[in-house]
């Protein structure tokens, strides 16, 4: 029987992926005006790693299948974000976007 928590684990992993990418975007934007960009980058990376590692640890909670499903949600969000950014960059190169 399939664990009824798996869809929730997938959604939670996707949420972690979205939060990770949002924090990455915000942190990258903050580097331009940072007095100490190295520290800012390091602090942002530490925060993102702690968020994802802690979230996956809680989601997995001794159930390897839940962990794998959460990772699948995380990776799906990442893949969709990469695809979106690539399309925008290609459109910009070809003059379709301002």
Question: What is the residue range of 77's domain?
Answer: 6-93
Residue 11 forms part of a structural domain: yes
Residue 93 phi, psi (nearest 5): -65, -35
pLDDT tens per residue across span 49-82: 999 999 999 999 889 999 999 999 999 999 999 9
CB-based burial, 51-63: b 16+ in 10 Å, e otherwise: ebeebbeebbeee
Residue 98 forms part of a structural domain: no
Give me the chain's average pLDDT, please.
93
For the question of whether the overall pTM of this predicted structure is more than 0.75, the answer is: yes
Domain total for the chain? 1
Residue 15 forms part of a structural domain: yes
Residue 57 forms part of a structural domain: yes
């Amino acid at each position: 029987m399939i664990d009824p928590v798996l869809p929730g684990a997938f959604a939670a992993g996707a949420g972690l992926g979205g939060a990770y990418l949002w924090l990455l975007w915000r942190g990258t934007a903050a580097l331009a005006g940072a007095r100490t960009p190295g520290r800012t980058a390091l602090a942002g990376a530490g925060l993102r790693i702690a968020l994802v590692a802690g979230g996956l640890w809680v989601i997995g909670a001794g159930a390897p299948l839940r962990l794998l499903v959460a990772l699948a949600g995380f990776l799906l969000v990442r893949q969709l974000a990469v695809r979106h950014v690539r399309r925008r960059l290609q459109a910009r190169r070809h003059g379709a976007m301002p």
